[in-house]
Structure 1
Amino acid sequence: MATPTPAAPTPTRTASAVPPTGPGMPSFARDPQTVLDAFASAIEARDWKAVRAYWGDRGNRSGLDEAAFAARWSVLEAPEVTVGDGTQEGAAGSLYYTAPVTIRDGERELAGEVTLRRANDVPGATTEQLRWHIESATLAP
């Protein structure tokens, strides 16, 4: 009698569990530089809903509601964003990634740092905790 073949492991995430992406949504990439590049693209597209969503807690950690955030950032008329190489470090179950970011808008230039954070693949962490999100930023219009 043949030994039965063990069943393939059941995936822990399904397609429906993966957060949607697109206009108004942040990137859920696992690479922090990719996330910052997508954040920069959202700024250049003037997609203020998506830009706000890069902050933790689905944008609430930006400290502004959607309308106030859009009003503050919409002063940028034709932003061009440059993201420099960042550095990553870990601490107490979290990963941090800090990179320099420059926004040029005509004659105006804003320069600062953006720090992303995510949970370090801790069992039981939610999708929101596992996504790279802005923990702090020293630049704002």
Structure 2
Amino acid sequence: MKLRLAVLSLPILALAACSEALAPAAPKTEPKTVAMTWVHYVCADGRAVSALYPDGETAQLKLGEATHLLRIARSASGARYTGDALQWWTKGDEASLAPLAPGEDIASASGVACGPASRAPVSPPAPGTPGGLPDDRTPLAEGPAEPGGAQAAASVVETYYALVESGRTAEAAKLRRDGREEDLKPFARLHAQVGAPGRVEGAAGSLFVEVPVVLYGRYATGGEYHAAGKATLRRANDVPGATEAQRAWRIETIEVATAGA
């Protein structure tokens, strides 16, 4: 009986092997990747916080150069995370950050309020201070600016940055001779102050004027952005044959340096 059973089992094993060979291979599935985005906050005390929520149980916080891993904790509302002696409590797009004393599960210290970086205000340096516009107290001339005058050139710079602030960078690029479009991706917000223009100078059939500018705002990561420099504008001299377009002020270059650079 044992021998007979052994003999009879051979065709069954062979059939099983053939079935496995004939069966189509299971399609390979590529591992799914989930894109995670850092959320950037600015706190009332000026600190910038970046938070990453990889799942429903953890949060990673970037504070300065350090990254902290926090885990979800019980809360009556919102989402509360604790760890590394920190408490991070989010409610909608607002949050609060508080220290945890040894042995604490819920922070007894008052937390500092944090909100989206795009809504955090930032101010430019005062005129006459480092990084600010020149402290020029000369009264502005009343009435419309002369088309070829320095004030008309300053108005072009004002229009340029008004378009940039509103995100209309393609329109703003038309006011530049190189047609370059500003890249606003690094910024949550960007503002500009335009100062009084300098004297109009002539060279090689063209007129030039420099206009001081101060840029300020916030990076998308929450940090403050400050830069100062000048815009140089050029137009054709009033010579016979010059077209209206050639006699219009256009931005030749913009040279700014960030604070501390």
The TM-score bracket by the shorter chain reads 0.5 to 0.7
2:192 to 69, 78, 81: 81
Separation in structure 2 between the aligned mates of residue 53 and residue 76 of structure 1, nearest angstrom? 21
Residues paired across the two proteins, number: 103
TM-score (norm 1): 0.63
The question of whether the paired residues in 1 share the 8 Å contact of 2:217 and 2:225 is answered with yes
Alignment of 1:89-128 (within 5 A): 89-106=201-218, 107-128=224-245
Query: Which 4+ residue blocks in structure 1 deviate beyond 6 angstroms?
Result: none
Q: Deviations over 1:19-74 (max 9, x none)?
A: xxxxxxxxxx8211211111121122121012211111xxxx14x4xxxx35x234
Instruction: Work out which of the two has the higher radius of gyration on C-alpha atoms and give 1 or 2.
Output: 2
Amino acid at match of 1:77: A
Separation in structure 2 between the aligned mates of residue 111 and residue 48 of structure 1, nearest angstrom? 20
1:33 pairs with 2:154: yes
Q: Compare the two structures and name the one with the higher helix fraction.
A: 1
Amino acid at match of 2:242: A
Amino acid at match of 1:137: I
SS in 2 for 1:36: helix
Q: Deviations over 1:61-104 (max 9, x none)?
A: 14x4xxxx35x234333211101112121223211110111111
Partner of residue 48, structure 1: 169
Separation in structure 2 between the aligned mates of residue 103 and residue 32 of structure 1, nearest angstrom? 18
Separation in structure 2 between the aligned mates of residue 124 and residue 74 of structure 1, nearest angstrom? 42
Larger relative contact order (Cα-Cα within 8 Å, sequence gap ≥ 6): 1
Separation in structure 2 between the aligned mates of residue 100 and residue 114 of structure 1, nearest angstrom? 6
Separation in structure 1 between the aligned mates of residue 165 and residue 189 of structure 2, nearest angstrom? 7
Amino acid at match of 2:166: A
- For structure 2, the 5+ residue unaligned runs are 1-145, 219-223
Partner of residue 130, structure 1: 247
Percent identical pairs in the alignment equals 32
RMSD of aligned residue pairs (Cα, Å):
2.3
Separation in structure 2 between the aligned mates of residue 51 and residue 74 of structure 1, nearest angstrom? 16
Separation in structure 2 between the aligned mates of residue 89 and residue 119 of structure 1, nearest angstrom? 12
Change (3 A) 1:51 1:76: farther
Q: Compare the two structures and name the one with the higher strand fraction.
A: 2
